[in-house]
Amino acid sequence: MFLPTNTTRPTFCLSQFTIAAALLAGLLSDAPAFAQSSRSGRSMMRRVQAMQKAQKQQSIQALQSQYAAAQKVLAQAQTEMASSGTALQSAESHLQVIEDQEAAKVRELAAATQSQRQVEERLIAAATPDSPVARALADLAEARHALQIEARRVLSLPAGTASDDAAALELMKLTSEQRLRLKADSGYQQAEDQVEMRQRQLREAEQRLFESQPDWVQAHARHQSQVEELKTIKGELKEAQANLGRDRQQARRAQTAFMSAQQVMQSTSTQLTALGAKPGTTSN
């Protein structure tokens, strides 16, 4: 009986060994390149992380500087607010005192004016018919009567009586055209100039009469004193108002600076917290 021999098996086993050895050799030859690539990747990652950390630290330092600067502004604003608040209260109180003084002085001046006027009225009423004041009053009344006659002539109005001329002229409602006619008439203008002259003469006569009477001199001196004192108080009032205005402006500026500093501190604090830092501290 013929038995066949297996001549192919040893050859197949040798081929498998050869392939495995080749694969192993290939893997061994690629190992250094793979290891080098891995080390390079880790090094780049560390550099990126270091750059990110440095940028973060720079941002934190910048924010800390802003926060510190805002703190200084806030502290200064608080000091100025306290100072300006005190100055403002003082200015307001001073202004109120001056206003009260002005109101009191106005009342005193009114009383002094009334007192002087009463003395003048009494002196005029006591003047004799032949006194300079009485004559000046009569001359003025005559000049006014002549002016009324001229007005009626120019405007072609009915003549009035001596008793109703003054009342009639007061009730007259002149139109623009009528006023122009009066102004253009020379006779009326002369009569008007005469009235002004008589008024001036009456004032001069009254002044001479008043100045000759001691009681009027005293009343006038009191009146002038009140006038001067009121003028002084008004100057002080104007200065006090200006000072109060400046103090209010300073208080508003301090308040604005305070609020601005607060906003900066709140904003930078929020950003520092997001970066893992606290305001006023140094982050590593």
Average the pLDDT over 221-227 and give the result: 97
Q: Is the pTM of this model over 0.75?
A: no
Least confident of 44-48, 49-53, 157-161, 168-172: 168-172
Domain ranges of the chain: 92-240
pLDDT per position as a tens digit, 94-137 = 999 999 999 999 999 999 999 999 999 999 999 999 999 999 99
Residue at token pair 């002229």:
169
pLDDT per position as a tens digit, 4-30 = 444 444 444 445 545 555 554 554 555
Residue with more model confidence, 127 or 44? 127
Most confident of the following: 10-24, 31-45, 226-240, 243-257: 226-240
Residue 89 confidence (pLDDT) above 60: yes
Rounded Cα–Cα distance for residues 67 and 267 (Å): 9
Average the pLDDT over 249-264 and give the result: 92
Largest CA distance in the chain: 195
Nearest to 229 by CA among 102, 97, 96, 99: 102
Q: Which backbone phi and psi does 283 adopt, to 5 degrees?
A: -100, 135
Q: Which backbone phi and psi does 276 adopt, to 5 degrees?
A: 85, 20
pLDDT per position as a tens digit, 153-184 = 888 877 665 454 554 555 467 788 988 999 99
Secondary element (H or E) of residue 153: helix 132-155
Q: How many helices (H) and strands (E) does the chain have?
A: 6, 0
